[in-house]
């Protein structure tokens, strides 16, 4: 599947709904990612729960010292 850049809005939604996971340096589980999707129609339009999970995973990996 072609790579789709994350918009600022999508990123802020993920940061807002999964801030706890991000703060704890923890990749969200399926139900956590789905909860973020359920709360945000904008996110649901183009992303799956796995997209959300991998976004957080990649972000944590990038900022890990």
What pLDDT, in 10s, does the model give residues 23-38?
999 999 999 999 999 9
Q: What is the pLDDT of residue 1?
A: 56
pLDDT tens-digit readout, 4-60 = 899 999 999 999 999 999 999 999 999 999 999 999 999 999 999 999 999 999 999
Q: Please give the span between the terminal C-alpha atoms of the chain, in angstroms, as a whole number.
A: 30
In Å, how far are 1, 2, 9, 19 from 12, measured between CA atoms?
23, 22, 5, 10
What pLDDT is recorded for position 65? 57
20: how many CB neighbours lie within 10 A of its CB? 10
């Amino acid at each position: 599947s072609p790579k789709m850049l994350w918009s600022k809005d999508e990123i802020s939604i993920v940061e807002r709904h999964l801030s706890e996971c991000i703060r704890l340096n923890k990749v969200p589980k399926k139900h956590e990612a789905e909860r973020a999707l359920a709360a945000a129609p904008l996110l649901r339009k183009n992303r799956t729960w796995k997209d959300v999970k991998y976004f957080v995973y990649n972000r944590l990996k990038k900022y890990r010292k």
